[in-house]
Amino acid sequence: MDTFRLFMVTWNVATAEPPDDIMSLLQLNSQEKSDVYVIGLQEVRATPLKFATDVAFGDSWSCLFMDTLTPLGYIKVSSVRMQGLLLLLFSKLEHVPFIRDIRTTYTRTGICGYWGNKGGVSMRFFFYGHSLCFLNCHLTAHIHYASERVEEFEHILNSQMFDSKDAPSVLDHKLVFWFGDLNFRIDDHGMHFIRNCINSKKFNLLWSKDQLTMMKKKFPRLQQFEEGPLDFQPTYKYDLNSDEYDSRLQTAWFGLIGKKRKPAWCDRILWRMNPKPPPENEDKEPDGDDDDDDDDDEEERFKEAMDEFPLGVVQDTYTSNMEYSTSDHKPVMGIFRLELRKMYETPLVCVSAEGEWSADMDAVVTYRILEQFLSSTWDWIGLYKVGFQSVSDYITYTWVKDDQVAFSNDVIQVYVSKEEIPVQGGECVLCYYSSNLQCIVGISEPFKVHESQAAIEEGFLFENTSRLDRALES
């Protein structure tokens, strides 16, 4: 069994621009590094002009996460956005060829399903052969709509389908994470009692009246989801740029004074295993006469359980971060250990650069199919600068079918025109992208692209270099 560290964040950012520094949010100063980051944001600013700009040039939140994580060896593997809902997946580069068959979808629930201010975005993929699904939701607000929130969640689960025979719906996946601004509030208790419990850190006195906890007793589907203890103070509703709960006199219509919002655990992270592994000591009879036999039996049961359930999840951390105050919500983090048996340990494709590369001559890429998969004429091999930020951050690419120059049973070669190679050179890698699986399935070892000797001899100053060279200079 191998262990991987999964770091999750959910944060309703209330249309604010990102802070200058998110090192603390991602706990990047910790000695223990995460393998995968999954970040779910709600209420990202999505005015028509801002949304169009984000689509064309990238939104400020994604750019901040990329600028922070890329220098540490991570890349953005995939993302999905629906208006203010944003879901991001980052991974260490070494795991990228083993994150396969990525699919994303979304469901609108605002204004009878026509508006995307509320709803859910999801991303599924196979991680070393195990199906994972992440569902980031923003459900309807206000304290009296707990049942409506459950109905919205049920609608999202029923409506989201993926183009996959193995796991066509959210709950078909082996491990599902449901998180986001779920908007469940604290019922019955008055403002004074809630604040006294928070100030004295007696959070457990509020748990029984947490709406999500109460709804889980009524709805079987909710009971399938587990959650860590709420041992952190409620994450909503704060004054902006403050750690104080809602204290302003809020003016409602016609000059009336509106009610202050009661603190609540709106921002949550839950998970569900499918199927759920048996209890650790199930069917074990207490008989202490033969300890060796008991140890052997326990080991055998463990092996059988791992054969049937070769994936386990343990939550190490569930907390909020009080340092960030640009929103009326505080971000919530969950750190998990994924304990699994790798279903595969080799990439689907082995790709490499043939010979020396420079802009003075056409170059050749060699690749070999290590395991059969459904290839496509839309598959391509991209040239990336070492330290690239995302799948779309390529310098240039070549189609594996159109640009093929040699083929054998073992090795296939495709060419790259010298006009597409950066004259300035640099450290690069090649990545094979599968259109059907929507992911990178093979990464080459880093290699050097040499400076163009012709450009040096001619005193070329690079003013008129292509987009490729400018990408390397940035």
Cα(42)–Cα(121) distance, integer angstroms: 10
Per residue in 117-139, pLDDT (tens digit) is 899 999 999 999 999 999 999 99
Given a contact cutoff of 8 angstroms between Cβ atoms, the answer to whether 442 and 371 are in contact is no
CATH 3.40.50.1400 is held by the domain 349-473: no
pLDDT value, residue 458:
73
Residue found by looking up tokens 């699904």 in the block? 133
CA–CA–CA angle 157, 188, 191 (5° rounding): 110
Instruction: Locate 470 and state its tokens.
Output: 């400018």
| Nearest-5° Cα angle at 60, 91 to 248 | 115
CB count in 10 Å sphere of residue 292:
7
Task: Give the span between the Cα atoms of 430 and 420, in whole angstroms.
Answer: 14
Q: What are 54's two structure tokens?
A: 């984000």
Long-range contacts of 146-151 (CB under 8 A, 24+ apart): 146/184, 146/185, 146/187, 146/211, 146/214, 146/215, 147/215, 149/182, 149/183, 149/184, 149/211, 149/215, 150/215, 150/219, 150/222
Q: Say if residues 402 and 416 touch (Cβ distance below 8 Å).
A: no
Give 77-133 as a DSSP string. Answer: EEEEEETTEEEEEEEEGGGGGGEEEEEEEEEEEETTTTEEEEEEEEEEEEETTEEEE
238 or 403, which is more confident = 238
Out of 93-102, 309-318, 455-464, which region has the weakest mean confidence (pLDDT)?
A: 455-464
Position 410 confidence tier, pLDDT thresholds 50, 70, 90: confident
Domain locations along the chain:
2-340, 349-473
pLDDT 10s digits, 20-74: 999 999 999 998 999 999 999 999 998 878 877 887 778 999 999 999 999 999 9
**Separation CA 41–CA 80 (nearest Å):** 11
pLDDT over threshold 50, residue 464 = no
> Is pTM, for the whole model, over 0.85?
yes
Q: Comparing C-alpha atoms, which of 251, 257, 208, 252 is closest to residue 230?
A: 208
Whose tokens are 């019922």? That residue is 187
Asked if the model's pLDDT at residue 467 lies above 50, the reply is no
Cis bond before residue 92 (omega within 30° of 0)? no
Cα angle 308, 311, 317; round to 5: 145
**CB neighbour list of residue 387: distance below 8 Å, 6 or more residues apart:** 70, 71
Please name the helix (run of DSSP H) or strand (run of DSSP E) that holds residue 3, with its range, or none. Answer: strand 2-12
Position 338 confidence tier, pLDDT thresholds 50, 70, 90: very high
Percent of residues, the chain, with pLDDT higher than 90: 75
Hey, is 72 helix, strand or coil? helix
Q: What is the pLDDT of residue 291?
A: 57
3-class SS at 428? strand
Torsion sign over Cα 316, 319, 325, 327 = positive
Paired with 257 in beta bridges are 251
Contact indicator for 44, 326 with CB cutoff of 8 Å: no
Q: Region 168-197: what's the mean pLDDT?
A: 96
Q: pLDDT by residue (tens digit) across 141-151?
A: 999 999 999 99
pLDDT given for residue 453 in this prediction: 86
In sequence order, which residues have a C-beta less than 8 Å from that of residue 217 and are 6 or more positions away? 223
Cα–Cα distance for residue pair 182/441, rounded to 1 Å = 35
CA distance readout (Å), 280 to 276, 304, 373: 12, 12, 37
Check pLDDT > 50 for residue 232: yes
Residue 284's pLDDT is: 46
Residues, the chain: 474
Burial class (CB in 10 A: 0-12, 13-18, 19+), 432: buried
Of the candidates 159, 169, 68, 74, the one whose C-alpha atom is nearest the C-alpha of residue 113 is 159
CATH fourth-level superfamily of 2-340: Endonuclease/exonuclease/phosphatase (3.60.10.10)
- Indicate the DSSP class of residue 365: E
Residue 285: pLDDT over 50? no
Q: Nearest-CA neighbor of 415 among 428, 431, 404?
A: 404
pLDDT for the residue 354? 94
Beta sheet of 99-110, edge-to-edge order = 99-110, 115-127, 130-138, 175-181, 267-273
Let me know: does 14 contact 329? Beta carbons within 8 Å. Answer: yes
pLDDT at 290 over 70: no
299-320 pLDDT tens trace: 665 565 556 668 999 999 999 9
pLDDT of the residue at 282: 47
